[in-house]
Amino acid sequence: MNHLEKRFLGKTGVKLPILGFGGAPLGELFKKVSFPQVEVTLNQAYDSGIRYYDTAPFYGHGLSEHRLGHMLRQKIRSEFILSSKVGRVYSPFNGNPLDFNGSPWIGGLPFQYYFDYSSEGLERSYIDSTLRLGLNQIDLLIIHDLDHGYHGKKVKQKLKELESGVEWLKKMKTSGFIKGFGAGINDMQMIPIFIEHFDIDFFLVAMPYTLLEQSPLEKVFPACKKPEIGIIIGSPYASGILAAGSNYESTYSYAPANNEILKKVGSIEAICRKYDVPLKAASLQFPLFHPLVASVIPGVLDKVQVLENIQMIKNSIPLELWLDLKNNGLMHPEAPVTLSV
């Protein structure tokens, strides 16, 4: 594979590079990152041909957008694709910034939020993002975290609230302010609900479709095929373990990995070693075999990770590796492992 290759994102008409840049680490999710390091990382990404960047107001409570915008607004706007999220509305923390608890972000900025998926809430979220980024256009807007994990029994209420929000998104698309809109989903139960209620362009799927888990193949991805809904894969390394491997410090789904997950990763690692293929290469390339998937956007922390991700995409992987994983019960038997023509 070539990281400069592009694919259409569903029916949007937007062609995304198969390898994008996930901006969550810029918001200091697992560790603090100095601004000079951020500049070096982003410049390396751009100089290496990375042209799709994803961020969100939630990432560091505005910090990721600030940092990404500082680099991107110095570039030719037509050269890159930018996505951000809507659904959270921010205001300044009323107190000493040192007392602000920005969990789960280790660093970030002292701003607090509430959820608002109405047309007014999404418009406020969008305008605030453009100001933080210093850019007057965001190509793709993503409805963020409307799921049971964040909203519990209030999901139905929030879906009702979103009805006016989706109408606003449609107007933004029709008027040319955005090129498409989708939903960022961790909870796979929400995808059929979104498809039933709203005419959206794509899903950003964080976590469930990785080398470790392929449950969306059963019902979720087939439901996306007929309406031509595209898929972007966030966290292809499953929040760390598919990059770090099965060591005791590995994280899975943003928490310490349990013994069952560690054992499975260890088995996958053993087969990768058998074919002299890095675990990271198999993890990054695997989702891209699915015909609905337009791009993978691993989170990037430094210059080394930028260059390594590019190398992992280019790494040659024999078909026998994928078949070996299936024969050992480590991969869904119907998972695509060759590129569709």
54 a catalytic residue: yes
Determine which one of 46, 52, 53, 85 is catalytic: 85
Determine which one of 46, 53, 54, 264 is catalytic: 54
Distances (CA, A) of 303 to 36, 41, 268, 308, 325: 11, 4, 27, 9, 31
Q: What is the CA radius of gyration of the chain?
A: 19
- Residue 180, strand partner residues: 140
Give phi and psi for 61, each to the nearest 5: 50, 50
CA angle 202, 85, 256 (to 5 degrees): 90
Give phi and psi for 333, each to the nearest 5: -60, -25
User: Cβ(53)–Cβ(41) under 8 Å?
Assistant: no
Encoded amino acid at 296, one letter: V
User: Cβ(333)–Cβ(326) under 8 Å?
Assistant: yes
Distance from C-alpha of 26 to C-alpha of 68, rounded to nearest angstrom = 8
99 a catalytic residue: no
Say what the alpha-carbon torsion angle 265, 271, 272, 276 is, to the nearest 10 degrees.
150
Determine which one of 46, 52, 53, 59 is catalytic: 59
How many residues belong to the chain? 341
Residue 116 DSSP symbol: -
Distances (CA, A) of 155 to 96, 127, 264, 309: 33, 25, 33, 36
Find, among 97, 91, 6, 92, the residue nearest to 50 by Cα.
6
Q: List, as one string, the DSSP characters of 201-257.
A: SEEEEESSSSSS--GGGTTHHHHHHTTT-EEEEE-TTGGGHHHH-SSTT-EETTEEP
How many CA within 13 A on the CB side of residue 94? Answer: 2
Active site residues: 54, 59, 85
